[in-house]
Structure 1
């Protein structure tokens, strides 16, 4: 993506995932917002409809979706919200056979905390996972390309404990964690260094 498109994409992500209330933008069920209202916000005064369509179409991670509802164009972020969104289009994962893997990417500097506390959803509504390692088929979003550690989740064990997992339309696996917003380390299947494949302890 070009620099201007990257900037628009990042601004869209912030607005639709985190900043809608601050900008006076209403998100309806499913996280949908009217595109003409997006274009009226302070961040998009110099952006037109065609640029929005171009950024959505060319986003390699498929972060956004557009829909035409009886002549009114809507846009949403497919996942990654810190705002509470009603009826987000997510498919519940009910068995470990529903996905090939559940992997979270992180960095060595975070591992000591994660090893003790588990994975936290932090200020978002979900912890993000991928159904494979970066570069594998079907993995388009959900993990930074620079991540150093891969945490594999024991999905069957987590599901049996009542922890919920869902899949977004762009194939990101989402988990809200336990009542405290954590996926505890007891549900980690293995943790490996991404470069060497060696276990991380």
Structure 2
């Protein structure tokens, strides 16, 4: 694993899951001071910039002296809130199907309860079946979602998000 990949993984973990544990001050929509992140991770600004630029899913966003993960935050132990994240994203009205990758073991619970974010703030959806964002790359099961009745948001990296996909919005067998 290269230093850039290692740094990118550390940044993603800190900004998506570890801010509370590490005591990183963060706004409700996920922004933290770059200087604070540099100190916590023991890296310099050039290492951070390289990791952000080369992140394969564009998970990280920098705006001057601030940095955040675009999406994918844990709900517990993080200072982010759903309303603040949603206010920072663009509300979209998809006209075609959306997609969600999962495992065969998850299908019975999904049939019963729909898609829930689990320990995350939102369910991740993809705009197409071959998208590199918004679904697990190695998913064994690809679910087609009818977004008609969903509140859908788009993060800056193109991932589509919603709080819950009810079972009736999942198109089974088609």
- TM-score normalised over the length of structure 2: 0.87
Secondary structure of the residue aligned to 2:15 is helix
Q: Which residue of structure 1 lines up, in the alignment, with residue 34 of structure 2?
A: 35
User: Counterpart in 1 of 2:169?
Assistant: 187
Map 1:7-156; keep pairs closer than 5 Å: 7-41=6-40, 44-45=41-42, 47-68=43-64, 73-82=65-74, 83=78, 84-85=80-81, 87-88=84-85, 89-93=88-92, 95-97=93-95, 100-134=96-130, 139-156=131-148
2: CA distance, partners of 1:101 / 1:188: 10
Question: 3-state DSSP class of the match of 1:20?
Answer: helix
**Residue 112 of structure 1 aligns to a residue in which SS?**
helix
Report how many aligned residue pairs link the two structures. Answer: 167
1:23 offset after TM fit, Å? 1.0
What is the aligned-residue RMSD (CA, Å)? Answer: 1.8
Distance of 2:135 and 2:44 partners within structure 1: 30
Unaligned runs of 5+ in 1: 178-182, 192-198
In the alignment, the residues of structure 1 paired with residue 47 and residue 36 of structure 2 have an alpha-carbon distance, to the nearest angstrom, of 15
Q: Deviations over 1:145-170 (max 9, x none)?
A: 111111111111xx2xxx42111111
Residue-by-residue CA offset, 1:48-74 (whole Å, 9 max, x unaligned): 111110010011211001111xxxx11
- The higher radius of gyration belongs to 1
TM-score under structure 1 normalisation? 0.76
Cα distance between partner residues in 2 of 1:128 and 1:10: 19
User: For 1:87 and 1:184, how far apart are their aligned partners in 2?
Assistant: 23
Structure 1 partner of 2:163: 176
Q: What residue ranges of structure 2 are gaps of 5+ in the alignment?
A: none
Shift of 1:6: 2.0
Q: Secondary structure at the match of 1:5?
A: helix
SS in 2 for 1:113: helix
Q: Partners of 2:51 and 2:4 in 1: how far apart?
A: 6
Give the structure, 1 or 2, with the largest relative contact order (CA under 8 Å, sep 6 or more).
Answer: 2
